[in-house]
Amino acid sequence: MDERRRMIVEGRVQGVGYRWFVLRHARALGLAGWVRNADDGSVVLEAQGEPQALDSLESLLREGPRLSRVHRVTVCEAPIEVGESFRIAF
């Protein structure tokens, strides 16, 4: 059964290709949802799919792309949404 999780990634995660990193991995894992930069310098995303795929994405988020420095990833449940592919939101 699908789950949806909201994740907030803090650290040096803007201006380093982090959203594109998330987009590529989320699509490869077959997840739906979105990712965007937040005004406070963090990256916020919601991802939906199989729990194992969400766990894999969460692990990848903690690593990030080469130029990033992830300090914290906060995860909570979010309501399921219908008919959505993974995208970068603005």
Task: Burial-class residue 10 by CB neighbours within 10 Å (0-12, 13-18, 19+).
Answer: middle
* 90 vs 37: CA distance, rounded Å: 8
Q: Tell me the two tokens of residue 86.
A: 């993974």
The catalytic position among 4, 19, 62, 87 is: 19
- Is 37 marked active-site? yes
Q: Tell me the two tokens of residue 4.
A: 């949806």
The catalytic position among 6, 37, 69, 87 is: 37
Q: Check residue 37 and report its DSSP letter.
A: E
Q: Which amino acid, 6?
A: R
- Is 24 marked active-site? no
Catalytic residues: 19, 37
